[in-house]
């Protein structure tokens, strides 16, 4: 075999390792129900769940509990299938958290009751969608 | 009155720029195929067209800047990206905050590069400029804003607000102009954001130059001659892109609060990947110049770097990234256009390469293991694999979109721990690269076999092992993989420094580019290893609170709550939060916010107490001062070490109605580390929740407790005049003086009690920092007792995170050395090219 061929095979082998590792490490979008199944099966991988904050009938966000030293908090989230779940996040509460339209939590079940979020992505009402113009200058 | 002239001018210039770009492309094509007699005419005609295109492009930029600079909020762009309060240098950032402005910047740089090409090349001008003009036509079409039926071509920055938004106000009054814009994203209100985007876009634009030379070479059958003029530009491009990446990383480090300089965010990856490929391309092009191998590889790499820049633009600006990036742009409906742009040039490049493929000279002889070509090829391959490893997962949203467009369902998400995921590959690839540069440089400058290689490498190897040993012991590096990184890093530094010393002794500095850049790589590797691998959060919560919940105890709290004036232990330091500060125009440093009171005008405040810094009085009580961005608060935190005051840091935060709390770090720079701090939660003064009344009955001289603070009732006096209130004859005003002791700070509170016409008036004191409201409710003269009503609220506080980043200065120094290396290489290669051109051997 020529040196070039060995080299080529080596490159292909590394490329395959890269692809396999990407597929292995890529997270997935789940619902709380499937995430819980994964936990029961013993899969510890962090997954994404998309949903919203739990709101009362009046439209007020409910279920946010900030810990006494303000460095972590709990909240209630409803995923896209309608499952409610208590989530713990070990970071201070973002200032506009209660205003978010959509929340993506990345993490896994810590116990049967608590979903532990490693990271939270929020989608807030964007200023690009703003249709109300301030009329102060009239 | 609505000014439509500027917008119309800008829009007209856009159309003119587009038409002139298309005609320039055609004209330069005619020039390149014209007979010798007609060439001069076509050349002049083409150049005039390109000058018109250049002028039109400049007019586009000026028009847009005029709209922002003159606060023309009748235009959507000014309304949504700027505001009255913005200083001029941030208006420049507003210019490219929006996508349209960013495209204009790109167009502008291409014009500059095109003009340079026209005046530095002879035979290459025509075919290269065809490619340039075509690219310009595509770019200008992005901001055209022309609607034909359902087809929308480009998004114009010159549309009026009333056309962009359907607000009812415009039906009542079509000429309505808002008084102020919605402002610039506060994260972009940073000096690095003024210079980072132009650098990055110059980098984007410059990848076109080697690509255009390559296309020109393939089209005119100069299959290998394109390398010489393209090489200095390829190095230039890699240098500028590299600089843009570093600036972006530095901006993230000083402005964002994710706690570092690199987050493997798709937007960062999108620039990193073309840069890697461009660097690989430079190496194979240099190899080709030396030994006529690797031409085909060079062609593939140059095409890939240009297409990857377009792909990066597509990823970031099409909205396909969606949730997966914090700073992806909103979709302006340009994704289709961007896709066509990318696919057009990809198809053209593939077509031209295929046509030329069998004519491209290749070297039949197998590269020997002891040849430099072999090692450079391995290096280029490693760079290519690094790029592949990054671009593949970054494109996960694209894979999902592809699967879904064929009716499938894909729920793949980016890796949850991006930093860990990318680092585990990139770190080892970088180690391989470092070793390759060390060995490769020896092959490069000496023809050697296995025996002499061993002999020459032994000394640098021993020296670098010794240096590594010192670093490992001194820096306490006990992790095996980090030890390998240190070894590889110091090996490449020592080996390349050896070569550098030899080169400088024997010949000129001109040849030193390669070794300098590689020394930079070694330093970056060591700097990254220390500053990221040994980055340590020191703000662990040591408040001693226990939780009933068991699992929470296992998780480290990485933030610490600091109440005002209360000393709190943070590892080796004692930190004390001292209150808010503001930046005032003309005053060095920061001014305590309590010395200022907001005034009527934008960014205006009244001075409540003289502002004195280092014995010099800057402003007197009652004067008006200008605040630099009034919404920014700086939270002053004093650090003590062994009871000695060490330093203060003032991380910034502002509450933004659309984006929540924007927080920027402040770092204490030491030679061997940074102490990096930012606030993650701040108190909201605007909406206090006062607790129920607490009533105290005290006589002067007595002490009592207000909100757990020792408070001395010093005195109560009848006063004749009051600040800000007119006293009439017969009025009786009593001012009580309370001294509140909060840790080491004494505060004087003076509530007032007034009797006028048998009516009682009370002026309570609200002390926001201490979170108390004190009212002198009544006086019982018979008993000499005074009745105070106290309401409590939360004291002021911040939640802080503090991280130590060791040896980060090695990283910054490494990047600077690498950039200098690139500059030296550009000078050398351009010098070569211009000498050959002047000999007529272009």
Q: Which residues of A touch B551 (CB under 8 A)?
A: 110-111, 114, 116
Q: What is the 3-state secondary structure (H, E, C) of chain A?
A: CCHHHHHHHHHHHHHHHHHHHHHHHCEEEECHHHHHHHHHCCCCCCEEEEEEECECCCCCECCCEECCCCCCEEEEEEECCCCEEEEEECCCCCCCHHHCCEEEEEEEECCCCEEEEEEEEEECCCHHHCCCCCCCCC
Q: Give the chain B residue nearest A24 (alpha carbons).
A: B415
Q: What is the model's pLDDT at position B232? A: 94
* Whether B799 contacts chain A with CB within 8 A: yes
* Whether B560 contacts chain A with CB within 8 A: yes
Listed residue (B735, B725, B797, B796) closest to B765, CA to CA: B735
Q: CB-CB: which of A68, A90, A134 is closest to B555?
A: A90
CA distance A56 to chain B (A): 23
Q: What is the model's pLDDT at position B374? A: 83
Q: Which residues of B touch A93 (CB under 8 A)?
A: 681
Listed residue (B379, B511, B484) closest to B438, CA to CA: B379
Q: What is the model's pLDDT at position B401? A: 85
Q: CB-CB: which of A29, A90, A126 is closest to B413?
A: A29
Question: Exposed, middle or buried: residue B382 (CB in 10 Å: 0-12, 13-18, 19+)?
Answer: buried
Instruction: Select from B427, B658, B803 the residue whose CB has the most chain A CBs within 10 Å, as the one to mutate to test that interface.
Output: B658
Q: Report CA dihedral (B386, B389, B394, B395) to the nearest 10 degrees.
A: 120
Say if CB B79 and CB B181 are below 8 A apart.
yes
Examine the pLDDT at A137 and tell me if it is beyond 50.
Answer: no
Q: What is the model's pLDDT at position A41? A: 87
CA distance A61 to chain B (A): 17
Q: Which residues of A touch B560 (CB under 8 A)?
A: 69, 71
Confidence of residue A138 (pLDDT cuts 50, 70, 90): very low
B275 or A55, which is more confident = B275
3-state secondary structure (DSSP) of residue B354:
helix
Residues of chain B below pLDDT 70: 322-332, 364-367, 369, 444-450, 541-554, 657-659, 724, 841-842
Q: What is the model's pLDDT at position B343? A: 95
Beta bridge partners of A107: A47, A117
Measured in whole angstroms, how far is the alpha carbon of residue B36 from the centre of its chain?
A: 50
The ipTM assigned to this model is: 0.85
* Whether B161 contacts chain A with CB within 8 A: yes
Measured in whole angstroms, how far is the alpha carbon of residue B825 from the centre of its chain?
A: 27
Measured in whole angstroms, how far is the alpha carbon of residue B133 from the centre of its chain?
A: 30
The encoded tokens of residue B413 equal 């998400």
Q: Report CB contact under 8 Å: B545, A128.
A: no
Q: Report CB contact under 8 Å: A26, B413.
A: yes
3-state secondary structure (DSSP) of residue B367:
coil
Q: How far apart are the C-alpha atoms of B22 and B840, rounded to whole Å?
A: 31
* Whether B387 contacts chain A with CB within 8 A: no
Examine the pLDDT at A134 and tell me if it is beyond 50.
Answer: no
Domain map of chain A by residue range? 28-129
Q: CB-CB: which of A21, A69, A132 is closest to B541?
A: A69
How many residue pairs from chains A and B have C-beta atoms closer than 8 A?
159
Q: Report CB contact under 8 Å: A96, B661.
A: yes
Cβ neighbours for A48, distance < 8 A, ≥ 6 positions apart:
A27, A28, A29, A30, A104, A105, A106, B413, B416
Q: How far apart are the C-alpha atoms of B396 and B297, rounded to whole Å?
A: 27
Contacts 24+ apart (CB under 8 A), B694-697: B694/B789, B694/B790, B694/B791, B694/B792, B695/B777, B695/B787, B695/B788, B695/B789, B695/B790, B696/B787, B696/B788, B696/B789, B696/B790, B697/B780, B697/B785, B697/B786, B697/B787, B697/B788
Q: Classify strands A102-109 and B772-780 as parallel, antiparallel or unpaired.
A: unpaired
Q: Which residue is it, tokens 């003076």? A: B750
Backbone phi, psi, residue B99, to 5°: -65, -35
Q: Report CB contact under 8 Å: B557, A71.
A: yes
The encoded tokens of residue B340 equal 């066509």
Instruction: Select from A43, A95, A102, A104 the residue whose CB has the most chain B CBs within 10 Å, as the one to mutate to test that interface.
Output: A95
Count CB-CB contacts under 10 A for residue B201.
22
Instruction: Kindly calculate the radius of gyration of chain B based on its CA atoms and give it in whole angstroms.
Output: 33
Q: Which residues of B touch A68 (CB under 8 A)?
A: 545
Q: Classify strands A47-53 and A27-30 as parallel, antiparallel or unpaired.
A: parallel
Say if CB B44 and CB B31 are below 8 A apart.
no
CA distance A7 to chain B (A): 9
Q: CB-CB: which of A11, A67, A94 is closest to B660?
A: A94
Count CB-CB contacts under 10 A for residue B445.
17
Examine the pLDDT at A128 and tell me if it is beyond 60.
Answer: no
Q: Report CB contact under 8 Å: B166, A131.
A: yes
Q: CB-CB: which of A106, A111, A119 is closest to B551?
A: A111
Say if CB B693 and CB B791 are below 8 A apart.
yes
Q: How far apart are the C-alpha atoms of B405 and B89, rounded to whole Å?
A: 44
Q: Which residues of A touch B165 (CB under 8 A)?
A: 130-131, 133
Within 170-229 of B, beta carbons closer than 8 Å to A belong to 173, 176-180, 182
Listed residue (B545, B541, B581) closest to B561, CA to CA: B541
Say if CB A125 and CB A101 are below 8 A apart.
yes
CA distance A48 to chain B (A): 7
Q: Give the chain A residue nearest B661 (alpha carbons).
A: A95
CA distance A5 to chain B (A): 11
Within 497-526 of B, beta carbons closer than 8 Å to A belong to none
Q: CB-CB: which of B178, B385, B660 is closest to A134?
A: B178
Q: CB-CB: which of A26, A30, A128 is closest to B415?
A: A26
Fold adopted by A28-129: OB fold (Dihydrolipoamide Acetyltransferase, E2P) (2.40.50)
Listed residue (B575, B596, B576, B574) closest to B584, CA to CA: B596
Q: Report CB contact under 8 Å: B414, A26.
A: yes
Q: What is the model's pLDDT at position B580? A: 93
* Whether B419 contacts chain A with CB within 8 A: no
Q: Report CB contact under 8 Å: B658, A92.
A: no
Backbone phi, psi, residue B531, to 5°: -70, -30
Say if CB B681 and CB B696 are below 8 A apart.
no
Q: How far apart are the C-alpha atoms of B634 and B650, rounded to whole Å?
A: 5
Instruction: Select from A92, A103, A114, A136 the residue whose CB has the most chain B CBs within 10 Å, as the one to mutate to test that interface.
Output: A92
* Whether B389 contacts chain A with CB within 8 A: yes
The encoded tokens of residue B408 equal 């499938």
Beta bridge partners of B779: B786
Where b means 16+ CB within 10 Å and e means fewer, B612-638 reads eeeeeebbeeeeebbbbbbbbbbbbbb
3-state secondary structure (DSSP) of residue B157:
coil
Q: CB-CB: which of B176, B369, B561 is closest to A138?
A: B176
Within 325-354 of B, beta carbons closer than 8 Å to A belong to 326, 330
Domain map of chain B by residue range? 1-206, 265-414, 438-534+827-842, 550-676, 694-795
Confidence of residue A129 (pLDDT cuts 50, 70, 90): very low
pTM: 0.90
Q: Give the chain A residue nearest B680 (alpha carbons).
A: A92
Q: Report CB contact under 8 Å: B415, A25.
A: yes
């Amino acid at each position: 075999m020529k040196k070039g061929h060995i080299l080529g095979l080596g490159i292909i082998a590394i490329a395959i390792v890269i692809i396999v590792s990407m597929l292995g490490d890529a997270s997935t979008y789940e619902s709380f129900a499937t995430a819980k199944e994964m936990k029961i099966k013993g899969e510890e991988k962090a997954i994404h769940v998309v949903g919203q904050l739990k709101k009362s009938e009046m439209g007020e966000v409910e279920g946010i509990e900030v810990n006494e030293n303000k460095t972590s908090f709990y909240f209630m989230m409803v995923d896209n299938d309608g499952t409610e779940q208590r989530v713990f996040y070990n970071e201070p509460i973002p200032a506009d958290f209660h205003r978010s339209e959509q929340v993506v939590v990345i993490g896994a079940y810590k116990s049967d009751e608590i979903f532990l979020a490693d990271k939270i992505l929020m989608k807030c009402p964007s200023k690009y969608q703003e249709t109300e113009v301030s009329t102060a200058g009239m | 009155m609505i000014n439509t002239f500027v917008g119309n001018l800008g829009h007209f210039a856009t159309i003119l720029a587009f038409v002139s770009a298309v005609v320039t492309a055609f004209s330069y094509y005619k020039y390149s195929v014209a007979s010798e007699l007609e060439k001069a005419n076509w050349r002049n005609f083409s150049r005039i067209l390109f000058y018109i295109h250049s002028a039109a492009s400049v007019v586009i930029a000026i028009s847009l800047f005029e709209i922002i600079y003159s606060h023309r909020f009748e235009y959507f762009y000014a309304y949504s990206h700027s505001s009255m309060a913005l200083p001029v240098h941030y208006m420049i950032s507003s210019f490219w905050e929006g996508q349209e402005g960013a495209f204009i910047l790109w167009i502008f740089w291409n014009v500059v590069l095109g003009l340079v090409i026209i005046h530095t090349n002879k035979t290459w001008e025509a075919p290269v400029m065809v490619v340039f003009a075509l690219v310009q036509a595509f770019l200008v079409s992005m901001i055209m804003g022309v609607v034909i039926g359902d087809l929308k071509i480009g998004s114009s920055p010159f549309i009026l607000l009333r056309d962009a938004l359907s607000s009812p106000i415009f039906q009542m009054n079509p000429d309505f102009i808002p008084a102020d814009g919605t402002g610039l994203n506060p994260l972009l209100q940073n000096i690095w954001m003024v210079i980072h985007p132009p650098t990055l876009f110059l980098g984007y634009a410059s990848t076109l130059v080697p690509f255009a030379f390559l296309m020109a070479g393939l089209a005119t059958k100069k299959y290998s001659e394109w390398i010489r003029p393209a090489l200095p530009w390829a190095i230039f491009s890699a240098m500028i892109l590299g600089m843009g990446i570093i600036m972006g990383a530095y901006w993230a480090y000083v402005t964002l609060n994710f706690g570092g300089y690199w987050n493997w965010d798709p937007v960062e990856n999108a620039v990193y990947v073309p840069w890697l490929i461009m660097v690989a391309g430079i190496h194979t092009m240099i190899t080709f110049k030396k030994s006529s191998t690797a031409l085909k590889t060079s062609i593939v790499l140059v095409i890939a770097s240009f297409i990857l820049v377009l792909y990066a633009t597509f990823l970031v600006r099409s909205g396909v990234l969606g949730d997966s990036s914090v700073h992806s742009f909103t979709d302006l409906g340009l994704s289709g256009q961007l896709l066509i742009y990318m696919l057009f040039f990809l198809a053209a490049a593939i077509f031209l390469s295929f046509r030329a493929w069998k004519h491209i000279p290749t070297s039949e002889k197998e590269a020997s293991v002891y040849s430099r070509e072999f090692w450079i090829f391995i290096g280029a391959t490693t760079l290519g694999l690094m790029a592949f490893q990054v671009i593949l997962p970054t494109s996960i949203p694209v894979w999902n979109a592809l699967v879904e467009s064929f009716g499938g369902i894909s729920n793949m998400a980016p890796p949850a721990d991006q930093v860990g995921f990318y680092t585990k590959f990139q770190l080892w690839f970088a180690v391989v690269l470092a070793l390759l540069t060390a060995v490769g440089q020896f092959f490069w400058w000496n023809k050697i076999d296995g025996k002499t290689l061993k002999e020459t490498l032994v000394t640098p190897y021993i020296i670098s092992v010794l240096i590594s040993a010192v670093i490992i012991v001194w820096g306490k590096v006990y992790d095996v993989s980090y030890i390998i990184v240190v070894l590889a890093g110091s090996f490449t530094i020592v080996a390349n420094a050896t070569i550098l010393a030899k080169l400088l002794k024997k010949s000129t500095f001109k040849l030193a580019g390669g070794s300098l850049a590689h020394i930079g790589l070694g330093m970056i590797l060591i700097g990254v290893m220390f500053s990221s691998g040994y980055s340590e959060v020191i703000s662990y919560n040591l408040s001693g609170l226990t939780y009933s919940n068991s699992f929470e105890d296992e998780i480290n709290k990485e933030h610490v709550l600091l109440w005002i004036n209360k000393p709190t232990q943070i590892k080796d330091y004692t930190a004390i939060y001292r209150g808010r500060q503001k930046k005032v125009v003309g005053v060095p440093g920061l001014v305590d916010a309590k010395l200022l009171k907001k005034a009527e005008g934008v960014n205006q405040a009244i001075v409540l107490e003289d502002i004195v810094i280092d014995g010099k009085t800057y402003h007197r009580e009652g004067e008006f001062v200008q605040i630099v961005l009034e919404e920014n608060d700086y939270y002053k935190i004093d650090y003590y070490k062994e009871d000695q005051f060490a330093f203060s840091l003032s991380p910034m935060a502002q509450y933004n109605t659309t984006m929540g709390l924007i927080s920027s770090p402040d770092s204490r720079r030491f030679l061997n580390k940074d102490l990096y701090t930012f606030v993650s939660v701040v108190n909201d003064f605007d909406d206090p929740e006062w607790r129920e009344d607490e009533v105290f009955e005290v006589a002067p001289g007595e002490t009592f407790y207000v909100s757990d603070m020792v408070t001395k009732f010093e005195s109560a006096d009848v006063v004749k005049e009051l600040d800000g209130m007119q006293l009439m004859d017969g009025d009786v005003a009593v001012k009580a003086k309370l001294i509140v002791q909060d840790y080491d700070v004494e505060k004087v509170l003076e509530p007032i009690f007034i009797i006028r016409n048998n009516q009682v008036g009370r002026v309570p004191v609200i002390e926001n920092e201490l979170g108390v409201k004190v009212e002198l409710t009544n006086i019982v003269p018979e008993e000499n007792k005074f009745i105070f009503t106290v309401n409590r609220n939360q004291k002021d506080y911040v939640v802080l995170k503090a991280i130590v980043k060791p040896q980060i200065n090695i990283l910054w120094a490494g990047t600077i050395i690498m950039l200098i290396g690139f500059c030296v290489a550009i000078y050398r290669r351009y010098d070569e090219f211009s000498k050959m051109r002047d000999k007529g051997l272009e």
